[in-house]
Amino acid sequence: MSANYLKIQKVIDEVSKVVVGQDYMIKRLLMGLFTQGHILLEGVPGLAKTLTVNTLSNALKLNFKRIQFTPDLLPSDVIGTMIYNQKKSSFEVKKGPIFSNLILADEINRSPAKVQSALLESMQEKQVTIGEESFKLELPFLVLATQNPIDQEGTYPLPEAQRDRFMMKLNISYPSKEEELKIMQRMSDLNFKNTVKTVLSKKDINSVQGEINSVSISESIQKYIIELVNATRDPSSVGLDDLSNYISFGASPRASINLSLASKANAFLSNRDYVMPDDIKEIANDVLNHRIILNYEAEAEGIRPDSIIRKILEKVEINS
């Protein structure tokens, strides 16, 4: 058991002092942090999405900025702009909140496409262009975005290219009755302090990234990943002819890359230095669900990406 593994457990314990019943979300956020993969959180209001991200940032010794996406937000409000300095009689760069380690893009689908697209370069290239000059972002750099799936009035769905840049999309569900009782008791106490200790530094995060990178993944599991992703594009290739009628586009090659990275992170968080097929199955829905584009027929019949992914996982076998 490595020292880094124990530190990660301390981070989870610290966040759990404030957030109740969201271990799944906490671990996925850490997986994104350690593999430099951005995370999209989707769920109805009140499920502690923003609270979890805020609390996690407090447990990490990283710069953190929250951007509240609104209909009147401009790209320059995110990345920065050129301003005129009268004393120097010249333009100079004023950097925006994107220049941080952790970015909480709260209700990202509240802003129009021109604002959402301002994140594209930073998410993919880890750099920002203002005017004619490009600036490298300080690593680690992670975008954690939230969106509300039920309130569609006045919202702008994320373009496919934008969604594909998120490593995982997490569908956050309601807590259990027992968990909700703890939430009510904790948050209705006016003396409750939602403070946590800082556990991980940048040096620790770099060390964890190195350990995850060294987690072994066999060629048979790599081929299993390729078969899964290919099945989302051509279900008939694995005997799922009926699913072909519902899928317009399958997952991109980013899905294969992110399945490999996320499975290694999942293995590490399970205190293993090798990837098992169960690691792939555990994170497959989170990596694939926002990358499968369904047609109108699927929507009319109530077919969802998670049901398609489940059938693919049941059908595709791993060859030793």
pLDDT for 57 equals 86
**Overall size of the chain counted in residues:** 320
Write the CATH number of the domain with boundaries 215-315: 1.10.8.80
pLDDT for 224 equals 94
pLDDT for 276 equals 94
CA–CA distance, 205 with 34 (Å, rounded to integer)? 7
Domains 3-187 and 215-315 share a fold: no
pLDDT for 283 equals 95
Rounded to two decimals, the pTM is 0.88
Ranges of residues in the chain with a pLDDT under 50 are none
CA–CA distance, 112 with 123 (Å, rounded to integer)? 17
pLDDT for 1 equals 63
pLDDT for 154 equals 60
Give residue 68's identity as a one-letter amino acid code.
Q
pLDDT for 320 equals 62
SS3 155: coil
CA–CA distance, 165 with 158 (Å, rounded to integer)? 11
pLDDT for 175 equals 84
Which CATH fold would you assign to the domain 3-187? Rossmann fold (3.40.50)
Domain boundaries, the chain: 3-187, 215-315
